[in-house]
Chain A
């Protein structure tokens, strides 16, 4: 049920927004013979927080550079606020950008860094001052204005880098892995602040990361990319619960989803000595005849203990390795010759060698066509 509402909302955002904030049409980019991006289409609504997620080399940062105008397209068009900016310089596009390495000008004070672009563009002094003051207030970096970047911590530098985008008074913010150079604790703090900033400003934000936690927590929609193509575009809920294909299913979620080979005949799914009736499964297209499939089961969606009464099927596993992690415990086992993970509540008492009874709920299954790897 939940997923349907999410999908419904998504459709509405896409349709009700009269004019997308950023619109990418049939974008191609190749370096010599290497195609980096291929026929890419993407509409981003005004005020939306879109995350481009993927492993390194998938083209997500390249796509961001294209939007920023730092790279010339091979073919295709880019519109920002309805204007064709395909040939426009980065500074003419109405964007602000935050970089992974912060890219602050080291010889200037924080104030100088924030104001350099504005002063260059001939903005009156008083206004420059006012905009810097406003950005500094929002980001709480007022005490740092007279310092140089070398005298700032990593988190402070990143704030200044965001400030530099902020003073430009633009509608679209681009973030290129802005938190990757920070340690885990600071990353979590700044993540929350970026989300807060988005709520406060309501700008369109496009955010590139390889960190799925950042993607899930920040995004209105996530675009998962691979080899220059978007594998799935959807809300965090959709990409987690209804991954469109095996790649997305494997990429999202930690610990990763379990996969088992199976066979689907009508509504009868059989895998690893089990047979389950999947009539309740939300098929996207009605399957016909016999089909080889891959069944995906999230470690946290497996049912143990008393709730098993509701499960569609149960089976026994031997716990081979037990990894207690505090809040929950991860059990490693083998099913049908493959590693199989089960995530249990942290309070569960279990040790290696124990037998574990596991149940499955049909609505949490993910069934993929084994040949095309697409979701059924």
Chain B
């Protein structure tokens, strides 16, 4: 037993010094790290609120002396990509048009597949599922061109629905895994009881499982909305320029070769594109974390 050099009249909680060496190290490390993560967003916001003359004079961290929303307006409505000078607004609506059907279709397909594998195993179901999961690791570049041919064959290449289909296909592995794991974690007795009560495949799904699986549908929704909104590769390959999603348009505006660089407009445009996933992230909070953790740890 070690010698104890504590006062003999010690009582209650051990007094803690706030400024211990450990605490100083902990909080200063955290401060540096937090600056690394938080400052870019701050820089983006302040740059987008400055005028170009002020940007050329000051440094990127200084707050704007005079707040102006001109850059925001230009980014949204008048910035040019090539011949087209409508700003990001068109890209925004394109992205919305892509997002809505893609999200609905991919979640519908994946939840049904996950349900079929989890509760109605049939010969080979695990094999297909395994292929699907391994497929998630195949680089998209490997499958991109044959898919172009496939879509061309069925007449969907270059159309909105072609892209929707691509999003559904590539969302399938992670979402199916998510739903399968969730449905497997539900008590099997529930499923058996519903079968004894005479419910069939669809009856059990819609009347028993879906109503009690709202959280996991929310997780899938968050995962897909951020994923599809943030997509660049599929958007640029499978659609025509007038249907380009917001990310593609953003890149075209910011990285346009001709003209003077307007950093404030660029940052406003970047922020505008980032606002949708950021809003989803800040609003959904724990569900977002749960979504990505569920996809990762169990996978």
* Chain A residues engaging chain B, CB cutoff 8 angstroms: 28, 72-77, 83-88, 91-94, 121, 170
Could you tell me the distance between the alpha carbons of A75 and B11 in the complex, rounded to whole angstroms? Answer: 6
- Least CB distance from A72 to B in Å reads 4
- Least CB distance from B130 to A in Å reads 26
Q: In the complex, what residues of A have CB within 8 A of residue B12's CB?
A: 28, 73-76, 86
The reply to whether B2 and A92 form a contact with Cβ atoms under 8 Å apart is yes
Let me know if B13 is at the binding interface, CB within 8 A: yes
Contact among B1, B2, B6 with A86 in the assembled complex (CB-CB below 8 Å): B6
Q: What does the 1/0 interface line of B1-31 toward A look like (CB < 8 Å)?
A: 1101011111111100000000000000000
Q: In the complex, what residues of B have CB within 8 A of residue A75's CB?
A: 11-12
The reply to whether A77 and B13 form a contact with Cβ atoms under 8 Å apart is no
Could you tell me the distance between the alpha carbons of A88 and B14 in the complex, rounded to whole angstroms? Answer: 8
A-B pairs with beta carbons under 8 Å apart, 30 shown: A28-B12, A72-B14, A74-B12, A75-B11, A75-B12, A76-B11, A76-B12, A77-B10, A77-B11, A83-B4, A83-B8, A84-B6, A84-B7, A84-B9, A84-B10, A85-B4, A86-B6, A86-B10, A86-B11, A86-B14, A87-B7, A87-B10, A88-B6, A91-B2, A92-B1, A92-B4, A93-B1, A93-B4, A94-B1, A121-B2
The reply to whether B13 and A72 form a contact with Cβ atoms under 8 Å apart is yes
Contact among A87, A121, A170 with B6 in the assembled complex (CB-CB below 8 Å): A87
- Least CB distance from A54 to B in Å reads 24
- Least CB distance from B4 to A in Å reads 5
The reply to whether B2 and A87 form a contact with Cβ atoms under 8 Å apart is no
- Least CB distance from A270 to B in Å reads 51
* B1 to A, closest residue via Cβ: A94
* A75 to B, closest residue via Cβ: B12
Number of interface residues of B (CB under 8 A): 12
Most buried by B among A73, A83, A87: A87
Chain A interface mostly:
loop
* A25 to B, closest residue via Cβ: B11
Count of inter-chain pairs, beta carbons less than 8 A? 42
- Least CB distance from B133 to A in Å reads 27
Q: In the complex, what residues of A have CB within 8 A of residue B8's CB?
A: 83-84
Known: A73-B13, A84-B9, A88-B6. 10 other contacts (CB 8 A): A72-B14, A73-B12, A74-B12, A75-B12, A76-B12, A83-B4, A84-B10, A86-B6, A86-B10, A92-B2
The A-contacting residues of B in range 5-64, CB under 8 angstroms, are: 6-14
Could you tell me the distance between the alpha carbons of A28 and B11 in the complex, rounded to whole angstroms? Answer: 11
Q: In the complex, what residues of B have CB within 8 A of residue A91's CB?
A: 2
The reply to whether A85 and B13 form a contact with Cβ atoms under 8 Å apart is no
The A-contacting residues of B in range 101-157, CB under 8 angstroms, are: none
- Least CB distance from A276 to B in Å reads 51
- Least CB distance from B275 to A in Å reads 38
Q: In the complex, what residues of B have CB within 8 A of residue A170's CB?
A: 1
Q: In the complex, what residues of A have CB within 8 A of residue B1's CB?
A: 92-94, 170
Q: In the complex, what residues of A have CB within 8 A of residue B9's CB?
A: 84
- Least CB distance from A216 to B in Å reads 32
Which 8 residue pairs of A and B lie closest in terms of their CB atoms, listed nearest first?
Answer: A86-B10, A87-B14, A94-B1, A72-B13, A87-B10, A87-B6, A75-B12, A92-B2
Could you tell me the distance between the alpha carbons of A76 and B12 in the complex, rounded to whole angstroms? Answer: 5
Could you tell me the distance between the alpha carbons of A87 and B14 in the complex, rounded to whole angstroms? Answer: 5
The reply to whether B6 and A74 form a contact with Cβ atoms under 8 Å apart is no
Q: In the complex, what residues of A have CB within 8 A of residue B14's CB?
A: 72, 86-87
* A71 to B, closest residue via Cβ: B13
Q: In the complex, what residues of B have CB within 8 A of residue A88's CB?
A: 4, 6
Could you tell me the distance between the alpha carbons of A74 and B13 in the complex, rounded to whole angstroms? Answer: 5
* B15 to A, closest residue via Cβ: A87
Could you tell me the distance between the alpha carbons of A83 and B11 in the complex, rounded to whole angstroms? Answer: 12
Could you tell me the distance between the alpha carbons of A91 and B3 in the complex, rounded to whole angstroms? Answer: 11
Could you tell me the distance between the alpha carbons of A55 and B6 in the complex, rounded to whole angstroms? Answer: 35
* B3 to A, closest residue via Cβ: A92
